[in-house]
């Protein structure tokens, strides 16, 4: 009987936390208008492993592009140190308090990869810094573009980033030695805001179709609610068609060359978004080629999709790491805060370098260093 009592208490604590979150979302502000700010503060957190080396290159490019506005004080770039696995392990927190306080003084953040300890690693089991930052700063929309023009692929994923299986991912428990439970969360507010973000993006970019991906036939309550709300929001956008797919068949359709070119914008719960965006990035050349935007109403964070590559550091190759993914993230950051011309110019310069290949990054001494690659990109900026 005791075990049921303990289980009920834990479940109640979990629900209380989520009810409080719903209350916060009910009162949340509208999107921050960057144009209205006298000064935009960009935080740069290098993270772990190859993170500091590649992030420094992306920062250098932002500085080159925004030189005038930095001089005028319209933009301030702030280095945020201390988001390292050593510090996080020492205080036993996903994000140390002082680092979190610093992050909160910024409007947008460029973040290098951070190490997520796995079972069996020498690090204590602190929560992923990524997941913690998404929650702490309420970065509810994970926007991941994937483009392969020669194959007709032009997709933008709107992955819900604060709910689903991730909301209480570390609060599951073992009821007894034979029974373990985890929980997944869907809220009205959380679903409405991600669905609106996807439809607004579609409307603003001339897209005609938004595809909702769930497993609502099986996960009836939470995925069912997600889908129902997507249908409600779709009614506000008569020029855009909502189509509905289940996650299993969707993973198959992404490799169907005839079908996949019809998809444009996707909206999906957290875990399906995690999985499907890795599959999608693979068509573009792998997770190392994609940037990722984590957008909330007050804050936004931009990151590389790949990890911290500790082996490259151990082997003394950190300076040869490919900075492309974090530079793509920097372009998304620039566009998000209103520097759309600079963002487009950066993307164009990157494509030009990738096509011209005067030098190449190989991850080793025989190739260009991250710094040389960044200088190559800067040399192409107009």
The string of DSSP codes covering 11-74 is HHHHHHHHHHHHHHHHTPPPPP-GGG-S-EEEEEE--STTHHHHHHHHHHHHHHHTHHHHHTTS
Residue indicated by tokens 């140190």? 81
Q: How far is CA 185 from CA 89, 132, 303, 343, in A?
A: 28, 16, 25, 35
Q: How far is the CB of 297 from Mg ion (least distance, A)?
A: 23
Residue 131 interacts with which of Mg ion, ligand IPM, none, CB < 5 to 8 Å by class: ligand IPM
Residues 6 or more apart whose Cβ sits within 8 Å of residue 127: 94, 170
Q: How far is the CB of 287 from ligand IPM (least distance, A)?
A: 8
Q: Report the chain's terminal Cα–Cα distance, integer Å.
A: 71
Residue 184 interacts with which of Mg ion, ligand IPM, none, CB < 5 to 8 Å by class: none
Q: How far is the CB of 59 from ligand IPM (least distance, A)?
A: 21
Which residues in the 234-293 window bind ligand IPM by CB under 6 A? 274
Residue 349 interacts with which of ligand IPM, Mg ion, none, CB < 5 to 8 Å by class: none
| Distance (Å, whole) CA 274 – CA 281 | 11
Tell me: does residue 116 bind ligand IPM (CB under 6 A). yes
Q: How far is the CB of 288 from ligand IPM (least distance, A)?
A: 13
Among candidate residues 194, 273, 186, the one with its CA nearest the CA of residue 233: 194
Residue 189 interacts with which of ligand IPM, Mg ion, none, CB < 5 to 8 Å by class: none
Shorter beta-carbon distance to ligand IPM: residue 128 or 261: 128
Residue 154 interacts with which of ligand IPM, Mg ion, none, CB < 5 to 8 Å by class: none
Residue 369 interacts with which of ligand IPM, Mg ion, none, CB < 5 to 8 Å by class: none
CA triple 378-379-382, angle to 5 deg: 85
Position among 77, 78, 87, 128 found at the interface with ligand IPM (CB under 6 A): 128
Tell me: does residue 167 bind ligand IPM (CB under 6 A). no
Applying CB under 5 A, which part among 81-89, 109-117, 241-249, 274-282 lies near Mg ion? 274-282
| Distance (Å, whole) CA 57 – CA 59 | 5
Extract the runs of DSSP E, i.e. beta strands, from the chain: 40-45, 75-79, 108-111, 141-148, 153-160, 173-176, 179-181, 209-214, 241-246, 265-268, 291-295, 300-304
Tell me: does residue 87 bind ligand IPM (CB under 6 A). no
Applying CB under 6 A, which part among 126-134, 146-154, 170-178, 342-350 lies near ligand IPM? 126-134
Phi first, then psi: give them for residue 174, nearest 5 degrees.
-95, 115
Q: How far is the CB of 330 from Mg ion (least distance, A)?
A: 20
Among candidate residues 110, 114, 162, 112, the one with its CA nearest the CA of residue 138: 162
**Residue of closest CB approach to ligand IPM:** 128
For residue 127, give both structure tokens. Answer: 């929560």
Q: How far is the CB of 177 from Mg ion (least distance, A)?
A: 31
Position among 127, 136, 274, 319 found at the interface with Mg ion (CB under 5 A): 274
Q: How far is the CB of 340 from Mg ion (least distance, A)?
A: 27
| Distance (Å, whole) CA 333 – CA 108 | 7
Residue 370 interacts with which of ligand IPM, Mg ion, none, CB < 5 to 8 Å by class: none
Residue 116 interacts with which of Mg ion, ligand IPM, none, CB < 5 to 8 Å by class: ligand IPM
Q: How far is the CB of 43 from Mg ion (least distance, A)?
A: 22
Residues in contact with ligand IPM by CB under 6 A are: 116, 128, 130-131, 274
Residues in contact with Mg ion by CB under 5 A are: 274
């Amino acid at each position: 009987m005791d075990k049921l009592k303990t289980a009920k208490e834990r479940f109640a604590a979990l629900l209380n936390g989520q009810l409080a979150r719903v209350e916060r979302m009910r009162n949340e502000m509208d999107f921050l208008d960057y144009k209205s700010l006298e000064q935009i503060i960009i935080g740069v957190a290098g993270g772990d492993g190859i993170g500091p080396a590649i992030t420094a290159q992306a920062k250098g490019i932002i500085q080159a592009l925004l030189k005038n506005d930095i001089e005028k004080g319209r933009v301030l770039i702030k280095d945020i140190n201390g988001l390292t696995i050593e510090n996080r392990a020492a205080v036993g927190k996903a994000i140390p308090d002082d680092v979190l306080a610093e992050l909160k003084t910024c409007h947008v953040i460029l973040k290098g990869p951070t190490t997520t300890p796995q079972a069996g690693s020498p690090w204590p089991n602190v929560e992923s810094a990524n997941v913690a930052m998404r929650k702490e700063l309420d970065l509810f929309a994970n926007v991941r573009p994937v483009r392969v023009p020669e194959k007709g692929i032009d997709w933008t994923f709107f992955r819900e980033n604060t709910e689903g299986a991730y909301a209480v991912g570390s609060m599951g428990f073992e009821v007894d030695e034979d029974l373990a439970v985890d929980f997944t969360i869907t809220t009205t507010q959380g679903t409405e805001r991600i669905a609106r973000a996807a439809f607004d993006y579609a409307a603003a970019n001339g897209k005609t179709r938004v595809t909702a991906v769930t497993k609502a036939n099986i996960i009836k309550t939470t995925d069912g609610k997600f889908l129902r709300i997507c249908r409600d929001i779709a009614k506000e956008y008569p020029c855009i068609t909502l189509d509905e797919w289940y996650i299993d068949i969707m993973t198959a359709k992404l490799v169907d060359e005839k079908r996949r070119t019809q998809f444009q914008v996707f909206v999906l719960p957290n875990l399906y978004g995690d999985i499907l965006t890795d599959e999608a990035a693979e068509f573009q050349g792998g997770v190392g080629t994609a940037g990722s935007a984590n957008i909330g109403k007050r804050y936004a964070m931009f990151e590389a999709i790949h990890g911290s590559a500790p082996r490259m550091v151990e082997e003394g190759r950190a300076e040869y790491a490919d900075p492309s993914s974090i530079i793509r993230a920097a372009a998304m950051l620039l566009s998000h805060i209103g520097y759309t011309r600079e963002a487009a110019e950066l993307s164009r310069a990157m494509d030009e370098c990738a096509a011209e290949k005067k030098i190449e990054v190989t991850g080793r001494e025989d190739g260009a260093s991250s710094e040389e690659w960044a200088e190559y990109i800067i040399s192409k900026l107009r």
